[in-house]
């Protein structure tokens, strides 16, 4: 039995196609279940998972560079790439610990020293790597080595910087981590389903399988999903409170008086809606309104992270970043939109009036 995937495309085996969809579907459900389990285990586990994902994404992109530029024989370069990753992570995570866990830093003498000279130590570590790179330059390979030096730094900018913003969002409250990530997952699934069942009109040449029907269907589905998820999570301190450190119990805590954006409010509906629905007011959590903006970005702009990744892969004539997840490709193939969404969320939080967040900042 055979059929056309899209008008004009070659015939493919229905067995092969459905087998691929089955593998992809089962692993998608497994990853979603794993995501719920990690959330249950708490923010520290989430941080460790984000770090692991970051390292794997870095490894996938750097490996492509090695393969494309045939740089296996360049002295020290594999070592230097990972050394720079350690330096950048040391800088970012050190800043985070100093900002969010001041009480912990003040209690420990070694941490006080590291916090006081953190930026100097970070710069010294990077400078050592820079000098090692210069010393590793080999005649006839200068251009290739500088290509790889730039490749490493662009990868650090894309992966490490944005994964650091994921951690920053998490410390503001797990809801700022869970909702954006879930929005991207929902949009990816719903756009795929709408495109599979109703897709007829190609959306962009970089991703021939993407359709306008999937794009539009994914948008409306994601906005509804984000609105409902925001309502469910806003009711629990575990999700809305920032991660804090209790110096008395010497442990991390998630307890607070919820800020105003997580307190139910009554809103008066516009006159046009009142006349149509016969409702004058509606009770909502303010965060539900914020979720509409997050969902809109995740549905309209977020996919461009995927298009960017598609263009990158086409430029180097590869199908996936790696074969880590059967049916899905590499870890980077699953997180190409997440990093863009994390950056937007971090910027969005900064625009929320401080008075709406001040109660939330009163950590135990």
Angle, helices 303-315 vs 331-351, to 10°: value is: 140
> Is 280 domain-assigned?
yes
Collapsed DSSP state (helix, strand, coil) of residue 334:
helix
Quote the pLDDT of residue 88: 94
Q: Which has the minimum average pLDDT: 115-129, 132-146, 267-281, 286-300?
A: 267-281
Quote the pLDDT of residue 1: 31
Whether 142 and 272 map to the same domain: the answer is: no
Whether 248 and 333 map to the same domain: the answer is: yes
For CA atoms 134, 139, 142, 145, give the dihedral sign: negative
The DSSP annotation for 239-295 comes to: HHSPPEEETTTTEEE------GGGS-EEEEPPHHHHHHH---EEEE-HHHHHHHHHH
Contact 215, 203 (CB under 8 A): yes
What b/e sequence results for 151-189 when a residue is b if at least 16 CB atoms lie within 10 Å of its CB, and e otherwise?
bbeebbebbbebbbbbbbbbbbbbbbbbbbbbbbbbbbb
Please tell me what DSSP assigns to residue 360.
T
| C-alpha–C-alpha distance, residues 204 and 215, integer Å | 11
Quote the pLDDT of residue 356: 58
Domain boundary among 172, 206, 226: 172
Return the structure tokens found at 271.
Answer: 């006159």
- Mean pLDDT computed over 289-300: 95
Whether 166 and 186 map to the same domain: the answer is: no
> Is 82 domain-assigned?
yes
**Whether the predicted pLDDT of 130 surpasses 90:** yes
> Is 22 domain-assigned?
no
Quote the pLDDT of residue 43: 83
Whether 79 and 156 map to the same domain: the answer is: yes
> Is 364 domain-assigned?
no
> Is 16 domain-assigned?
no
**Whether the predicted pLDDT of 253 surpasses 90:** no
Is the model more confident about 322 or about 137? 137
**Whether the predicted pLDDT of 223 surpasses 50:** yes
Collapsed DSSP state (helix, strand, coil) of residue 150:
helix
- How many CA atoms lie less than 13 Å away from 234 in the CB half-sphere? 21
Whether 165 and 193 map to the same domain: the answer is: no
Is the model more confident about 357 or about 46? 46
Domain boundary among 127, 149, 172: 172
- Phi (first) and psi of residue 24, to 5 degrees: -65, -40
Whether 124 and 266 map to the same domain: the answer is: no
Residue 242 belongs to domain spanning? 178-359
Whether 106 and 226 map to the same domain: the answer is: no
> Is 300 domain-assigned?
yes
What is the domain count for the chain?
2
Domain boundary among 146, 172, 198: 172
> Is 20 domain-assigned?
no
- Mean pLDDT computed over 209-235: 94
Collapsed DSSP state (helix, strand, coil) of residue 210:
strand
Whether 142 and 223 map to the same domain: the answer is: no
Whether 194 and 322 map to the same domain: the answer is: yes
Instruction: Determine if residue 10 is left, alpha or beta; phi over 0 gives left, psi from -120 to 50 gives alpha, anything else beta.
Output: beta
> Is 89 domain-assigned?
yes
Whether 56 and 195 map to the same domain: the answer is: no
Whether 298 and 333 map to the same domain: the answer is: yes
| C-alpha–C-alpha distance, residues 188 and 221, integer Å | 10
Whether 104 and 216 map to the same domain: the answer is: no
């Amino acid at each position: 039995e055979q059929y056309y995937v899209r008008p004009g495309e070659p015939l493919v085996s229905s067995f092969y196609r459905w087998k691929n969809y089955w593998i992809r579907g089962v692993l998608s459900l497994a990853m979603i279940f794993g995501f719920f389990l990690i959330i249950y285990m708490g923010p520290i586990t989430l941080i460790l998972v984000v770090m692991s994902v970051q390292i794997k994404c870095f490894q996938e992109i750097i490996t492509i560079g090695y393969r494309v530029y045939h740089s296996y024989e360049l002295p020290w370069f594999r070592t230097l790439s990972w050394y720079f990753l350690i330096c950048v992570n040391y800088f970012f995570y050190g800043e985070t610990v100093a900002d969010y866990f001041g009480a912990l830093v003040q209690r420990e003498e070694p941490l006080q020293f590291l916090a006081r000279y953190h930026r100097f130590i970070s710069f010294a570590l990077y400078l050592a790597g820079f000098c090692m790179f210069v010393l590793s330059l080999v005649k006839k390979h200068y251009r290739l080595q500088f290509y790889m030096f730039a490749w490493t730094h662009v990868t650090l900018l894309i992966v490490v910087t944005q994964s650091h913003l994921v951690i920053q969002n998490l410390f503001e409250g797990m809801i700022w981590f869970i909702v954006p990530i879930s929005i991207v997952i929902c949009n990816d699934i719903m756009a795929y389903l709408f495109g599979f069942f109703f897709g007829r009109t190609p959306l962009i040449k970089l991703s021939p399988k993407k359709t306008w029907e999937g794009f539009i269907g994914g948008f409306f589905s994601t906005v509804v999903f984000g609105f409902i998820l925001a309502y469910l999570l806003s009711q629990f301190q575990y999700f809305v409170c920032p991660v804090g450190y209790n110096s008395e119990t010497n442990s991390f805590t998630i307890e607070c008086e919820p800020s105003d954006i997580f307190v139910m409010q009554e809103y008066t509906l516009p006159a046009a809606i009142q006349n149509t629905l016969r409702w004058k007011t509606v009770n909502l959590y303010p965060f539900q309104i914020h979720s509409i903006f997050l969902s809109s970005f995740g549905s309209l702009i977020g996919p461009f992270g995927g298009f960017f990744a598609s263009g990158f892969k086409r430029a180097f004539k590869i199908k996936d970043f790696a074969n880590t997840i059967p049916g899905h490709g590499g870890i980077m193939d699953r997180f190409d939109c997440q990093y863009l969404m994390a950056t937007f969320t971090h910027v969005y939080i900064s625009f929320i009036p401080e008075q709406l967040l001040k109660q939330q900042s009163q950590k135990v």
